[in-house]
Structure 1
C-alpha cells in the first residue's frame, strides 16, 4: 500500500482543523474538501458535541455522489437514529477503482477517516465500512487492503472476485445480495452454491461449518435468509440472501448497526 502511506503522510502534514459547531465548514450537502477530492458528512441526531462517535464510511454506487448518501433514508436514515457519524466519500468521476490493489481510492478513503477525526471525536474501535453496488465492491477492496482497523464490513450487492488475496481483513463481515441480481450479478458458486458470495472471507477467516439463523425481517415485505459462520479462527461472516434484485434492502443497514452496537434491532 505504497500510495496509502504517501497520501497519509501528506494529510498529516496539514494543520489540524478546528470545527466551529455553530457554523461547520462542511456538513451534509456541503462537501469537505480534501486536497483535490471531497467527501460528505452527516452527524447523528441529538449528538452532544463531545461523545466519541462510531463511524459508517459508505461508498456510493456508480454515477452517484456522497451528497445523495447523506440524504438517503436507507443509509443516513439509519445512521442518524443510532448515534453513528456518516462519512460519504465522492468517487473520482462518480465511480470507484476497485478492480485490483493498484488504486488510489483506498488511500483516499483512509484519508477521509483521518480528516474526519480532526473534526469529530471518532470511536476508532467502531469504524464500519459499507457500500452499495460498485460502492460495495469498493468497500470490499478497502477491507481487503486496509481492513485491520475496520470493525465490520457491511456490503450490499457487490463483491470482489472470490479468488482475491487480501493482505488485511475486518473483524467481521456482513454481506447482503439478491439472488435475482443481474446488475452486479449474484456470484453463484459451483454446483449452485449460494454461499459463494462470501467464500473469500470464509477462507481468510478460516471458517468451518455454517449455521442458518433466519429467515428474518426488518420490514414485513422483505424476507431474508441468514447464514452465519461463527466457527472461524478469526472473525465472523454473515450472509443475508433475498430473492430480489439490485437494491438496498429496507432496514438492512440499521439492523446491522443495531446488532453491532448492542442495541435491539429496530426499523427504521
Structure 2
C-alpha cells in the first residue's frame, strides 16, 4: 500500500511545486513538510499538531482530506493485539493444616456449648435466687411512679418539640433573608470560537495545562469565559472566527497561519 507521504510528494510533483513554495504558502516549516513526505516524525512534536499540518497540506493539493487522514492513522497507529499469558495460581493442598483447623474449631464449639448449657444457666439461677419477691403493697407504688415518670417524659418531649419548631422557623426566616439575590452581579464576557473550516484547535490555561485539544470540523463552536485567559494554538488561524458577547471580532489570523499561545482580550479585533 502506498504511504501517505508518497501520495503527497507525487501530487506535489505533478503540480510542479517545490517544498519551499508550499512552506511559504501555508506558513509551515520546510522541515515538517519533508518529514510528512518521508514519514519521519520526531518524538517532541505533538501527534495532533502533525494531523493539523497534514490536513492543511492535503487541502492545498486538492486531495481527499478525510481519506488520507484515516490512512495516515492506520499507518502510524496500527492495532497491536498483545497476548498476555497470566500464570495460573498454584493450589496447595495441605491436608495436615486443614485437619488442625477442623480440630481446633471443634474444640472451641464443644467448650462454648458446655459453657452456655451448664455454667451460664447455673449462674442465672443463683442470681434469681438472691432477689426476694416484692410485697403486694409495693407494686401499686411502683406502678404509680412509672406512670408519673412517663407523663413527665412526654411533657418534656412536647416542650422540646415546640422549642425546636420555633428555632427551625427562625432559621428558615434568616436563610430566606440571606438568600435574597443581588442585583449588582457583574457578568463575565464570553468568547466563542466558531470554526469556518476543518482545523486543529488547542487551549491551555494559565498553568500551561491543556484544557481542550481536538480536530474541529466546519461550523463547530467552543465557548469559554474571558476571565479564563486561555492561550490558543491552531494549525490554521484563518479558519477560526472570534465572537465576544455575540459580537464578531474577526479571525485570529490568516488562512494557513499557525498561531501559538495566543491570548484574547475583550478589545480584540482583527
Per the normalisation by structure 1, the TM-score is 0.26
Greater strand share, structure number? 1
Of the two, which has the highest radius of gyration? 2
Per the normalisation by structure 2, the TM-score is 0.25
